[in-house]
Amino acid sequence: MTDGVQNGAEEGGTVPVATGHEVIQSCLRTLDSSPGVYRMLNAKSEVLYVGKARNLKARVSNYARPSGHSGRIARMISETASMMFLTTRTEMEALLLEQNLIKQLKPRYNVLLRDDKSFPNILIGKDHAFPQIKKHRGKRSEKGSYFGPFASAGAVNRTLNQLQKVFLLRNCSDAMFESRTRPCLLFQIKRCSAPCVGRVTAEQYAAQVSDAERFLEGKSTEVQAQLASQMAEASEAMEFERAAALRDRIRALTQVQSAQGINPRGVAEADVIALHLEGGQACVQVFFIRANQSWGNRDFYPRTGSGAEESEILEAFVTQFYDDKDPPRLILLSHPVENEDLVTAALTERAGRKVEIAVPQRGEKAELVENAARNAKESLARQMAEGAAQSKLLIGLAEAFDLDAPPRRIEVYDNAHIQGADAVGGMIVAGPDGFNKAQYRKFNIKGAAGKAGDDFGMMKEVLTRRFERLLKEDPERKTEAWPDLLLIDGGAGQVSAVGEILAELGVEDIPYIGVAKGIDRDAGKEEFHRPGEPPFALQRNDPVLYFVQRLRDEAHRWANGAHRAKRAKAVSATPLDDVPGVGAARKRALLAHFGSAKAVSRAGIADLMAVDGISEAMAQTIHDFFHDR
């Protein structure tokens, strides 16, 4: 039990046969007015809904009424067979616990944010005399200045590309920086000032870093004025080459400013969040504004909990969205949220500073929200159109392969290796919403089949690991993690291997189909293999064939990408990777000092201690590692 949740949590009796408001009424006898979290369960003990309450007894008594509910709440009450309760000290603790339980349990009637990836930032390092500028995602553990979040990796890459044109900062790794003896191509195309070979002094480079930071802080006008002044001074001093270089940087800066899109003057830092709800489906559009600049937008399609209203959807979205992200100082919303004071207090506590939530009605802020709402409406229309087309394809797939119903989760498997080296298995997932990239998985082949180049054996290993984990984590198949259809890249041999594995594991109710290239391995002549049946083909112009080809090609792309990444890592690997206590920083220092891993292996303890960050104990460890071997 986490701190803040009382151990004396009350439970609303055993699971009765009856369901509905009478069951909920019987729970009121054991409740008091404490804040807390409640769970509504059906006859199978599946969680239908998780909610929070400032006063548990008052909230639950509302559900105990036989009438006066919306259609969604009435359906939920009619399915409720039991309830569980956890009391907390404060309503804020109840809010945080509620969102954790929603993410963990994914109840049917709750609003759920399905895409919860982290957002990239720009990092200017501070642990080097000539700082590197790069994209950063995840925990802010590196020393440096962070700017973000950006809506996507593409937005970061575009901004980095523009910043390199203007400020000429390096993006190479420290190891590459230390090994350079002449400028790289980026210097030739005027994207870097080549500090690696002394083409710029530390003071000059520090000034460029300072200019870049000021620009990312929204002080672009000051930077442009300073560059213009320097250009005039260079021209007067007849330093025409330097003046021309500064002119090019000013032009690049002007292009950056014109490409920034919507740059609000009166909003320095905010997230603009707008919701459009139509036909039971929702789209939430989020625009990121930092330093008076728009740093991109992202659309989300939360599950609406079988018909929740705008205020409930937005409250759930905001609390789940900022569960692992620092909120900005201002959040602009298209609709009011339920319990605005509570949400504001929770975000303020998370950020460690004041956070304001507003629903603007006029002025520039209202225009920003209106623009986000328009984007949300257009995105939802596209999503619904694509979803309708996807539904037709899934229906056609079910008809073509004699499935009982259109599949909601398709898993496609493929392997990639070069004569058994760096073998990797890949799994992609598709369904009514298209490719579900958050569910993609990679499998490093560990068994002998990988080294032997045995495709059948590799497929057996991948499927065994996949379904053993499913059986362990969800044996009763309560979640959406179980597939409705397996597509295997291969023919009769792969299909036979899959059948053996599923039979051994006792999973014999999931259909599986092999997709093999036909005559001359020509796309369009694919043959489909099913257990116990002869191969068959689809018409060349059948949309279902194109759909299966897309699925197969995506699995091929995913597996090949994983294989290339593994191969590249193996190429750059050194014996230092296996030395206990030697991480990336010590590895860089050792290679920079000795020049190669082989030279490190031959070094004495005194020589090793001469490297920055290598203590006597660590030197002894490194020496023993190589000499004991």
Give 512-528 pLDDT, tens digit per residue: 999 987 665 555 678 89
pLDDT in tens, 599-627: 888 888 888 998 888 998 888 888 888 87
Round to whole Å and give the CA distance between 516 and 493.
Answer: 10
Domains for the chain: give ranges and CATH numbers. 11-109 (3.40.1440.10), 269-381 (3.30.420.340), 410-570 (3.30.420.340), 575-628 (1.10.150.20)
DSSP state of 587: H
The pLDDT value recorded for residue 10 is 41
- Highest-pLDDT range among 383-387, 407-411, 431-435, 586-590: 407-411
pLDDT digits (tens, 9 = 90+) for 110-126: 999 876 667 889 999 88
- Which residues partner with 12 through β-bridges? 83
* Cβ 488 vs Cβ 473: under 8 Å: no
Question: From CA 252, how far away is CA 163, in angstroms rounded?
Answer: 8
**pLDDT tens sequence across 533-573:** 888 888 888 899 999 999 999 999 999 888 888 777 665 56
Q: In what order do the strands lie in the sheet with 144-147?
A: 133-136, 121-125, 144-147
2-59 pLDDT, tens per residue?
Answer: 333 333 334 444 444 578 888 899 888 888 899 999 999 998 888 999 999 999 999 9
Cα 91 to Cα 56, 86, 197, 202, 344: the distances in Å are 10, 12, 59, 53, 13
pTM: 0.71
The one-letter code for the residue type at 614 is I
- The residue type of 211 is D
Question: Looking up tokens 């230092």, which residue turns up?
Answer: 576
Among residues of the chain, what percentage have pLDDT more than 70?
A: 91
Please give the Cα distance from 585 to 592 (Å, whole number).
11
Cα–Cα distance, 612 to 629 (Å, whole number)? 25
Under 8 Å between Cβ of 449 and 516: no
pLDDT grade for 259, boundaries at 50, 70 and 90: very low
The answer to whether residue 355 scores a pLDDT higher than 90 is yes
Mean pLDDT, rounded, for 378-406: 90
